[in-house]
Amino acid sequence: MPAERGVTVGVLYPDLLNIYADRGNLLFLRRRCEWRGIPFRLLGVGLGESLEPDAIDLVYIGGGQDRDQELCAEDLALLKRESLEEIASRDIPLLAVCGGYQLLGSGYETDHGTLPGAGIADLSTTRANGPRLVGPCAVQTDLGGPTNGLLAGFENHAGRTRLGESASALGRVVSGHGNNGSDGTEGYRSGNIVGTYLHGPLLPKNWWFADWLLARCLGIDIEELAELDDRLERAAHSEALRAAKVAQ
Ligand code: GLN
């Protein structure tokens, strides 16, 4: 049974891409596995190290400021690209947040030049000189679940991401700015490959989405995961929706 094998999360650049409590996403995944008796392991993959698709069940890439992205973009595009392409083609779950999300596409254009991307998602990002897109955010996805697919979080980015013709958004902006503040899209999803601007951290505010990812890692239906007492998690989600001024 896959649950016995457990979940190994390959965390790219854990020291560089980790802001706005993004590490809380990993802690949350760990707890939800441990509470269910599912073995959980983190495998940090830093600069110069190789990412082995066979060794991991989920790839996690956190957020980072431009400065942090500058330090790892080339390594990602040169050293990790092939593995990430394999991960995408095998539909191994991947979650990338903000700065990490921006680096999934063709590149991130800033005033200092263009940072290369991994090129596994049809999207591109430009740093705007306009205001940063900051604040609570709510996004309507088509993932169903106990909130009917509604995700809540917080965003803080200068970059504007545009999805290419072949790309689909993670969802529609209900409140906040999303990918670029103008076209109403938020994030990117292709099967199990997900990119989003939602920090906050994302998963503790959206417990069901953490389970969605875990079920996909384990290759099981979400209903097969043991139920947990999610009263606190539901309250955290409601609070995040309230912050985003979404009526409940
Ligand atoms: N450096 C990127 C931007 O400002 C991403 C920031 C982040 O990860 N919050 O657009």
End-to-end CA distance of the chain: 38
pTM: 0.97
CA distance 229 to 40: 20
Q: Is 199 a catalytic residue?
A: yes
Give me the pLDDT at residue 167, please.
98
Is residue 125 within a helix (H) or strand (E), and if so which, with residue range? strand 123-127
Residue 202 phi, psi (nearest 5): -60, -50
Class of residue 227 by CB neighbours under 10 A (exposed 0-12, middle 13-18, buried 19+): exposed
Question: What order of strands is seen across the sheet that includes strand 113-116?
Answer: 113-116, 107-110, 123-127, 159-163
- Residue 15 pLDDT more than 70? yes
- In this structure, which amino acid lies at residue 50? S
Work out the average pLDDT over 49-54: 97
Q: Is 204 in the pocket of ligand 1 (CB under 6 A)?
A: no
Pick the atom of ligand 1 nearest to 127's CA.
Answer: 10
Please indicate whether residue 63, judged by its CB atom, sits closer than 6 Å to ligand 1.
yes
Check 98, 137, 217, 237 and give the catalytic one: 98
CB-ligand 1 contact for 110 (6 Å cutoff): no
CA distance 81 to 120: 8
Residue with tokens 């088509």: 142
Residue 57 has pLDDT above 90, yes or no: yes
Q: Which of 72, 137, 177, 199 is catalytic?
A: 199
| Strand partners of residue 125 | 108, 161
CA 136 to CA 182: how far, in whole Å? Answer: 16
Q: In the annotation, is 217 catalytic?
A: no
Q: Which two tokens stand for residue 204?
A: 């503790």
Of 238, 120, 124, 128, which is closest to residue 177 (Cα–Cα)?
128
Q: What angle do CA 201, 204, 205 make, to 5 degrees?
A: 80
Per-residue confidence at 1, pLDDT binned at 50, 70, 90?
A: very low
Answer yes or no: is the C-beta of 65 below 6 A from any ligand 1 atom: yes
According to DSSP, the β-strands at 94-97 and 58-61 are parallel
CB atoms under 10 Å from CB of 69, counted, come to: 25
Q: What is the pLDDT of residue 177?
A: 98
- Ligand 1 center–CA 67 separation, angstroms: 9
- The CB of 25 under 6 Å from ligand 1? The reply is no
**Cβ atoms within 10 Å, residue 15:** 13
- Conformational region of residue 165, where left means phi above 0, alpha means psi within -120 to 50, and beta covers everything else: alpha
Q: What is the pLDDT of residues 78-118, one digit of tens each?
A: 999 999 999 999 999 999 999 999 999 999 999 889 999 99
Residues 6+ apart with CB under 8 A from 144: none
pLDDT digit string, tens, across residues 202-227: 999 999 999 999 999 999 999 999 99
pLDDT in tens, 32-46: 999 999 999 999 999
162 C-alpha to ligand 1 centroid (Å): 15
